[in-house]
Amino acid sequence: MASGLEKSPISAFKPGHSRSNSTGSSSRHSRQNSRDWEIVTDPLPSVGAPGHCVEKSGIPGICEGYLMKKRKYPLQGWHKRYFILEKGILRYSKTQQDIARGKVHGSMDVSLAVMSMNKKSRRIDLDAGQFNLYHIKAKSQEIFYIWLTKLTAHRKYKKNEAMIIHQDVLQALSAANSNALPAMASLAQRNRAMMDMVSLYNYNFFFFCKFYFLTIAYFYVPKPASVLYHAFDFLFLRFLREYPSSPSQSRQTRSRLSLAESMAEYFDANEVIVSESLSENEASDESGLSDVTTSNSEPEDGHVLIFYTPLYSYVSPTVPKNMGRRTVLPAHSADNSHIGILSILYNNIGKDLSRVSMPVALNEPVNFLQRVSEELEYSQLLDIANQIDDPYQRMVYVAVFSISGYAWASWRNRYKPFNPVLGETYESVREERGFRYVAEQVSHHPPVSACHAESENFTFWQDQRWKNKFWGKSVEIISTGMVNVTLPRYGDHYEWNKVVTCIHSVFSQQRWLEHYGDVVIKNLNSDECTCKMTFLKTIKNEVQGTVLDQAGNVVHRFGGSWHEGIFCDTLPEPQCIWKPNPQPDDYFDYYGFSSYARELNDLTPDLKPLLPPTDTRFRPDQRLLEEGKVSEADKKKDELEEKQRERRKELTKRGEEHIPRFFRKTVDEAGREVWVTNGTYWRIRENPGFANTPNLELW
């Protein structure tokens, strides 16, 4: 039964035009009698002449209760779900108790959806796009009309609220300093054009208004603009009063936006300003509305709560300055369009691809030891974490650091890193970031790469056991190692797993990568809090996470896209925690490398005498590829692989095993076999120096 409301008279609802006239959702019911379906139309709030005010309507009452929801294909059938409609947002979960705990399976802004009804079958369809479709059914005509009336009222309320925000902004502009008004004339014209798009339902107009008008005025209105600045602050504070951000104030029933949509609007605000229209992908991706299978490893909520925060509140962690390192590679990316990847992979279906020799043109001029070091590009997040007293906020920054290590994948989908040979090493000393890093290939079969980084603010180490599997059209990269970080100031020791990376369309030059799976971060020295994150497979590049206390209650929620940034609205000051550094303009010409990646294989004259001869920078096939000498690199790669096989045969004959030089094998507290530093690398580097010690001859 619907509760918390009075039954509205049936006559209060007036059906709209026939569903058969719809161009949006009619195909979904082609097997049913189209005459039974009608699209619910409600008048859009109009923007009148200057001085005309949109009347602010009261907030409709909350409507909640059990309804039947159609399962998603291919499961078919119906299942009972508990729905709650509040302030224009429809959410659902399995039970009323799950709603109260914030365990939401999906949510939808009903003002953005095409709503259609079938009185005969007591059904209501809400269609807001490909990933955002609800089929719901009431058990009685009474409940059907209650929900129908309430949905209509909430849709009207949400649209009216959007118009009021628009009106408030225009009033603030009209009260601003007269010097700023001429600059707004062209913006007003653009605004009128944008208003015509409301009826398309292709974007969340309510939130778009805030970003569009506030950002324009802040960045584009010439000085003096302080009057506008304070006017917008006033409007924003009023918005927060009407939509409190504290979970205790709103029973965690605040409006939920898709992270893919809200983060795209947040991070692309400047692009929105200078573009005349929005693309469908940016505007209509209201996600997380599918049935999310709940498990202990998933965030408790199908959505992270996103609220508007002024763009000028974002303060990026200090980005270290360039220390004179190179900004371009010696040669452009190698052309691999002629390589028959199809025949190579189909001959190795189901095999571990790390054992398969590939043409060098499929590689990028870095190897896996260097690739792992890229996870420290945003090490300043750990520096910040080591200065935060609150353990829950500390966990947020550690979690976001773990996400930042995947950002490279957005640009690096055409090539793979070199596989390190056994005994190969790599060091990275980053004075501007305050850490030093060393890595070694400690095992060949199975391939295991171990690394260790240290700083005044953190220690970072991991040993990664990667498996590559080819499944016809995609390649999965599966990691079984754990990542460890310690923060010395608080004695914290964090540990987490990695997600699966999948390369899709491997036969095409339009290959793309995605990460999916669950991540659990634990503090091994304290059970005060844990973190659970999900890299969603159904929503491109989206990540959702929660920080939980000992009792399992949600303390912080955060989320966003691993290639665009992460936002947390539950901190004392809601903010964007992290955004990736901008890509160089010529990134496509240089393997998709970021500025940081371009520095990894740089071998400067002052560094050369300090490195062991096993360092990746001395690897000849990789260096030749970087210089654009692909055919020579191919020959050298074959020579190195053959030399490695001969070396392994010699060890087998003597009954010996390779002993890593800078890492040792041990067992962690969970009984897992792990590789950790033996502490000798930097000591030998300083005295007596690698040139004065025995070294492996790898090249």
Residue 401 lies in a domain: yes
3-state secondary structure of 662: coil
Residue 500 lies in a domain: yes
Residues 547 and 639 in one domain: yes
At 145, the amino acid letter reads Y
At 521, the amino acid letter reads I
pLDDT at 350: 65
pLDDT at 34: 61
Residues 103 and 175 in one domain: no
- List the one residue out of 260, 42, 31, 255 whose CA is nearest residue 131: 260
pLDDT at 335: 85
Residue 229 lies in a domain: yes
DSSP per-residue letters across 371-397: HHHGGGTTTHHHHHHTT---HHHHHHH
Tell me the sheet residues that pair with 454.
Answer: 436, 459
Q: What is the pLDDT of residues 316-353, one digit of tens each?
A: 444 455 567 899 999 999 887 777 666 676 666 666 66
Residues 223 and 371 in one domain: no
Residue after which a domain boundary falls, among 91, 124, 154 = 154
- List the one residue out of 436, 441, 472 whose CA is nearest residue 457: 436
Residue ranges for the chain with pLDDT beneath 70:
1-34, 42-57, 72-76, 129-131, 162-323, 340-343, 345-356, 472
Per residue in 164-200, is it b (16+ CB within 10 Å) or e — as a string?
Answer: bbbbbbbebbeebeeebeeebeebeeebeebbeebee
Which residue is it, tokens 């890229």? 374
Residues 283 and 402 in one domain: no
- List the one residue out of 595, 618, 624 whose CA is nearest residue 695: 618
Residues 115 and 182 in one domain: no
Please give the residue range of the domain that contains residue 185.
164-287
Residues 509 and 637 in one domain: yes
Sequence-distant (6+) residues with CB within 8 A of 376 are 428, 430, 433, 435, 437, 453, 460
Tell me the sheet residues that pair with 578.
Answer: 566
Distance CA(699)–CA(636), nearest Å, equals: 9
DSSP per-residue letters across 427-474: EEEETTTTEEEEEEEEETTTTEEEEEEEESS-EEEEEEEEEEEE-SSE
The pTM for the full model equals: 0.59
Strand 425-430 with 500-504, pairing: unpaired
Residues 461 and 355 in one domain: yes
Counting runs of H as helices and runs of E as strands, what totals does the chain give? 18, 26
CATH of the domain at 28: 2.30.29.30
Q: How many domains does the chain have?
A: 3
DSSP 536: -
Rg (CA), the chain: 29
Cβ atoms of 440 and 662 within 8 Å: the answer is: yes
3-state secondary structure of 109: strand
Distance CA(170)–CA(175), nearest Å, equals: 9
Distance CA(313)–CA(236), nearest Å, equals: 12
pLDDT at 504: 83
48-57 long-range contacts, Cβ below 8 Å, gap at least 24?
A: 50/174, 53/167, 54/160, 54/163, 54/164, 54/167, 55/160, 56/160, 56/164, 57/156, 57/157, 57/160
Residues 488 and 576 in one domain: yes
CATH of the domain at 665: 2.40.160.120
Cβ atoms of 639 and 646 within 8 Å: the answer is: no
Distance CA(304)–CA(262), nearest Å, equals: 10
Residues 75 and 32 in one domain: yes
Q: How far is CA 687 from the centre of its chain?
A: 44
3-state secondary structure of 502: strand
654: left (phi over 0), alpha (psi -120 to 50) or beta: alpha
pLDDT at 677: 97
Residue after which a domain boundary falls, among 101, 131, 154 = 154
Q: Is the peptide bond before 43 cis (omega within 30 degrees of 0)?
A: no
Q: What is the pLDDT of residues 99-144, one digit of tens each?
A: 888 888 888 888 888 888 999 899 999 987 656 788 999 999 989 9
Residue 79 lies in a domain: yes
Residue 596 lies in a domain: yes
Distance CA(371)–CA(408), nearest Å, equals: 9
Residue 318 lies in a domain: no
Distance CA(143)–CA(38), nearest Å, equals: 18
- List the one residue out of 252, 271, 259 whose CA is nearest residue 553: 252
Q: Quick count: other Cβ atoms within 10 Å of Cβ 30?
A: 7
Which residue is it, tokens 């601003």? 176
Which residue is it, tokens 């009148």? 48
What's the angle, vertex CA 570, arms to CA 566 and CA 571, rounded to 5? 85
- List the one residue out of 513, 477, 524 whose CA is nearest residue 498: 477
Residues 150 and 171 in one domain: no
- List the one residue out of 54, 13, 7 whose CA is nearest residue 153: 13
Residues 123 and 192 in one domain: no
Residue after which a domain boundary falls, among 154, 181, 211 = 154
Q: Label each residue of 111-177 as H, E or C.
A: HHCEEEEECCCCEEEEECCCCCEEEEECCCHHHHHHHHHHHHHHHHHHHHHHHHHHHHHHHHHHCCC
Residue 321 lies in a domain: no
What are the angstrom distances between the C-alpha of 305 and each of 22, 287, 389, 521? 33, 13, 24, 21
Cβ atoms of 460 and 382 within 8 Å: the answer is: yes
Residues 365 and 274 in one domain: no
Residue 186 lies in a domain: yes
Q: Is the peptide bond before 74 cis (omega within 30 degrees of 0)?
A: yes
Distance CA(592)–CA(586), nearest Å, equals: 8
